[in-house]
Each structure stands twice: as structure tokens, then as C-alpha cells.
Amino acid sequence: MTTLAVPYYGNLYHNCTGYERVYFIVNYDTETERTQNVRLRVWDDKQTPDLYSWLKENEVSGVVCNDSEALPLLEKVVNQGFKVLDMGSSYAQNVMKNLRL
């Protein structure tokens, strides 16, 4: 079981507004390839200014996103100890498919 954060609008970062603030927090069973315990959470940057700290508080180990053009940002995510799964990976596609209700 792994816990992933999926930005609500697909991108971790938006040019006009900055970091995404709304996330699906998903427990994903890698053996059955099914999502469990999907929660919608809002990152309040006033309460926890650092996104990475907030992700750790939510026990997230990876981020699924569609930010392929934001390579320096994604490198920062990786340097903070998180896996980044882009939409090209079958693993990320399974997560997204399971999120569709």
C-alpha cells in the first residue's frame, strides 16, 4: 500500500496561482492496483507554509501529476523524498482510472 497525492486539476503548479491547494489523497494497493480510502484535502499555506511538510503530515510518499513541462519543480519534489508519477506511467494511469467514479 502506498499513499499518493493527486492534484485536483492535474498539475502541481499553476503559473497564475502557484502550487495547487486541492488534492486527492489516495491509498493505492499496488498488488490489486486499486485505490482505497480516497480523501479530498486542501493545503492551507497559512497553516502549513511548506507544501512538502503538509504532504508528509498526510503520509504521502508520491505525487501523480501532469507537470511534464515543470522539470525543475518536479526535481525539487523528488529532492524532498517524494516519488513523482507522470501521466505517461502505467502506474499513474491506473490510479487515475480508479479515481473516476
How far is the C-alpha of 95 from the C-alpha of 35, rounded, in Å? 7
* Residue 61: C-alpha distances to residues 2, 15, 40, 55, 85 (Å): 7, 25, 16, 8, 11
CATH number at residue 25: 3.30.420
Question: pLDDT tens per residue, the chain (101 residues)?
Answer: 889 999 988 888 888 888 899 999 999 888 888 888 999 999 999 999 999 999 999 999 998 887 766 666 777 888 888 888 877 777 788 888 877 74
Q: Record the pTM.
A: 0.84
88: containing domain:
2-99
In 3D space, the residue among 64, 97, 62 whose CA is nearest the CA of residue 80 turns out to be: 62
> What are the pLDDT digits (tens) for 5-24?
999 888 888 888 888 999 99
Domain total in the chain: 1
